[in-house]
Amino acid sequence: MTPLPAAIEATGLHVSRSRSKILRGLDFRVEAGRITGLLGPSGSGKTTLMRAIVGVQRISQGSVTVLGRPAGSAPLRHDVGYVTQGASVYPDLSVQANVRYFGAMHNATAADTADAMAAVGLESLARHKAADLSGGQFSRVSLACALVAHPKLLVLDEPTVGLDPVLRAELWERFAAMAATGTTLLVSSHVMEEASHCSSLLLLRDGALLAQLTPAELARRGRSEDLERAFLTIIKAADRGQEERQVTT
Amino acid sequence: MNLRMTLATTTRVLGQLRHDHRSVALILVVPALLLTAVYFLFENETLPPGFPRTFDRVGLMMLAIFPFVVMFLVTSITMLRERTSGTLERLLTTPIHKADLLFGYALAFSIMAALQSLVATAVAYWVFDLDIKGSPGFVVMIAVINAVLGVALGLLCSAFARTEFQAVQFMPVVVIPQILLCGLFVARDEMNEVLEAISGVLPLTFSVDALKEIAGNADATATMWQDALIMGGIVLGVLVLASLTLRRQTR
């Protein structure tokens, strides 16, 4: 069986910011047309890795290739969508004006704008000012501003934070539907139960990749169906391994 | 450069302002009110016959200074918000060109500045009989160039401020020296050499010089066009500097 084409490929990726090492030598590939979860405790480097992939973070060593090109290169700007953790939209504009503006960068039509708003369930609030929306609605405006471009790779930093369970389920269904049509999604989260929605997981800790595996493998290796506990088991095992190495050297 | 993205940016910036009725009202009305104050300040001055009123000199220069100050403030705060809220970083991951963003901003605020100076110039001209030989249309033109200068400097200065509080502190640094040295308080040839030399490279000096040309001549003079051209050159230079502060990547 030939492997699926890689949407993202990182080799020996190092990132340092103001002299502290945030990412230390990551090697991985993310398959196209799948949902890949980026999991790890806060401060593990998830956001920095995502920023390196969308090309806004300078890399100190190694490389990241996105859709066959170096991350951040100009032709990728049409194909890569990035939704930051804090919603980066204009609070003093209406939902529609926000989506339309970001759509204008990708020659989106009025129908694209309407579709993007419908996709996140905000069509009835199109004319409301973003600042007047609830926290969850506000972050969905940010998502709509990425969807309007029909990106081939969508990078989402903690998209489900602050959403109620119903909305969270709807959003994951939406992501699955997008993956089914060929979109690659990289979704970060620090909530382990969300891992089950992904077809592959990148476990990050202290800027290093602990493992790349499927949710089923995570459950097996962590000896628990509860993915949160499974993840903790793997972390502990890794810590123990590190201590043993330090003892032997 | 992409016209569609530039115009989308202009529409967006104007859209943001449109929701902010109070700011729009302040931009449009305050210069006219201050001009009124200046008029009444000099209302009772006694002049030898044939001597021009102080209002004709000061009021005219204020028409050029208002848009510069107001647009500098409005732009530096708006751009700073764009930098700190993450929308700038997000925009720079899209195909938008930096020039689209900067010219989009410049165009939006020039439109506001044109409206502002139309109101202020109309008040000065019709209500207070501002006495100038040249066309008030040229006064508006110089006012708009000044506004774009304010926009360009605001875009540039926003890069050096981390908070809105700091951004406002740039006003005394960037704006006030230009007002002091532009020839409004003391004629340039009466300044000492150092101050005169500094004043000779400050952009606002050229617009005050252009306004004097408009006030003293019925037709547009070569000096006025030259001043306007130099101002345009400075604006473009500052916009290029501002574009260098927009980075697609951070360290």
- Is A107 within 8 Å of B4 when comparing Cβ atoms? yes
Which candidate in B85, B89, B94, B250 is best for mutational testing of the A interface (most A CBs within 10 A)? B94
Please count the other Cβ atoms lying within 10 Å of the Cβ belonging to residue B119.
17
pLDDT band at A222 (very low <50, low <70, confident <90, very high): confident
Q: Which residue of B has its CA nearest to A100?
A: B8
B96 interface with A at CB cutoff 8 Å: yes
A183: amino acid identity, one letter = T
> For residue B188, what pLDDT is reported?
85
> For residue A244, what pLDDT is reported?
66
Predicted confidence (pLDDT) per residue in B111-148, tens digit: 998 899 899 999 998 999 888 898 889 999 999 999 89
- Is B250 within 8 Å of A129 when comparing Cβ atoms? no
Residue B50, class by beta-carbon neighbours within 10 Å (0-12 exposed, 13-18 middle, 19+ buried)? exposed
Q: For a pLDDT cut of 90, what percent of chain B falls above it?
A: 43
pLDDT band at B50 (very low <50, low <70, confident <90, very high): confident
Cα B50 → chain centroid = 32
Please give the mean pLDDT across all residues of chain B. Answer: 90
Please count the other Cβ atoms lying within 10 Å of the Cβ belonging to residue A237.
13
Over residues B19-37, the mean pLDDT reads 89
Structure tokens at A244: 């043993």
Per the confidence metrics, is the pTM higher than 0.90?
no
Predicted confidence (pLDDT) per residue in A6-65, tens digit: 899 999 999 998 888 999 989 999 999 999 999 988 888 999 999 999 999 999 999 999
Residue A164 or B200, more confident: B200
> For residue A245, what pLDDT is reported?
65
Least confident of A156-165, B64-73, B76-85, B160-169: A156-165
Structure tokens at A214: 């499927």
> For residue A4, what pLDDT is reported?
58
Structure tokens at A205: 């800790």
Q: Is the pLDDT of residue A5 over 80?
A: no
Over residues A214-237, the mean pLDDT reads 86
Please count the other Cβ atoms lying within 10 Å of the Cβ belonging to residue B23.
17
Q: Which of residues 184-223 of B touch A (CB under 8 A)?
A: none
- Is A93 within 8 Å of B250 when comparing Cβ atoms? no
- Is B16 within 8 Å of A101 when comparing Cβ atoms? no
pLDDT band at B228 (very low <50, low <70, confident <90, very high): very high
Q: For a pLDDT cut of 90, what percent of chain A falls above it?
A: 56
B79 interface with A at CB cutoff 8 Å: no
Residue ranges of the alpha helices (H) in chain A? 46-54, 95-104, 110-119, 135-147, 165-180, 215-221, 227-248
Distance between A124 CA and the closest CA of chain B, angstroms: 20
> For residue A98, what pLDDT is reported?
95
Please count the other Cβ atoms lying within 10 Å of the Cβ belonging to residue A146.
26
Predicted confidence (pLDDT) per residue in A181-216, tens digit: 999 999 998 777 788 899 999 999 889 998 898 988
> For residue A246, what pLDDT is reported?
61
Q: Is the pLDDT of residue A232 over 70?
A: yes
The residues with which A14 forms a beta bridge, in sequence order, are A24, A61
Residue B246 or A66, more confident: A66
Predicted confidence (pLDDT) per residue in A86-134, tens digit: 889 999 999 999 999 999 999 999 999 999 999 888 999 999 999 999 8
Over residues B138-163, the mean pLDDT reads 91
> For residue B223, what pLDDT is reported?
92
Whole-angstrom distance, CA of residue A161 vs CA of residue A147: 18
Q: Is A225 helix (H, G, I), strand (E, B) or coil?
A: coil
Site of tokens 């001043």: B227
> For residue A191, what pLDDT is reported?
79
Q: Is the pLDDT of residue B94 over 70?
A: yes
